[in-house]
Amino acid sequence: MSRKRVCVLISGRGSNLQALLDAEQDAYEIVLVVSNVPGAGGLARARAAGVEALTLDHKPFGKDREAFERELNALLRARHVELIALAGFMRVLTPYFVNAWAGRLINIHPSLLPKFPGTKTHERALAAGESEHGCSVHLVTEEVDAGEILGQARMPISADDTPDSLAARVLTLEHELYPRCLAEYARHLR
């Protein structure tokens, strides 16, 4: 079985990217990392691992999100990418891009979906009085954080948890869950 060619899209420090790189195995190979933010820390992580790392700054495209995504799509197609992993990519994707990569676009989200889609998940979980929290790996669809769930990891919320302590503990779960789900999905992708 050949390994699936994966591109990881990032906007920041790349801790989930690092987890994916560290766990690389027979199911997938990260061939490209693209950041929409110049100088994002994850780019250096990719280069240190010998992976091509590029910046495609969204700002020159202004409000034309689809134009940015058409450029991104051309980059991915030119490198024969088969699967995309979003890892802290802070852009909501348009229907154009989601449909172009339907079934080949995976995201990690810091909540137990369908609870708390979107942002500020840790604050919202605490405010709601939840007894547990965690993360979800899911397929990306046009509706934000609403695609098929491929895996979840859970943990109890402690009485002394803050949004920051919760975020740190959930991130540890993400680093274990994401590589496992990506590999499992890549293994069965045709």
109 a catalytic residue: yes
Contact 36, 58 (CB under 8 A): yes
Q: Which of 109, 133, 138, 175 is catalytic?
A: 109
In whole angstroms, give the CA distance from residue 2 to residue 106: 19
Residue whose pair of structure tokens reads 């302590």 in the numeric block: 165
Closest alpha carbon to 108 in 47, 66, 170, 163: 170
Separation in Å, CA 90 to CA 13, 50, 86, 168, 180: 12, 24, 9, 18, 22
Catalytic site positions: 109
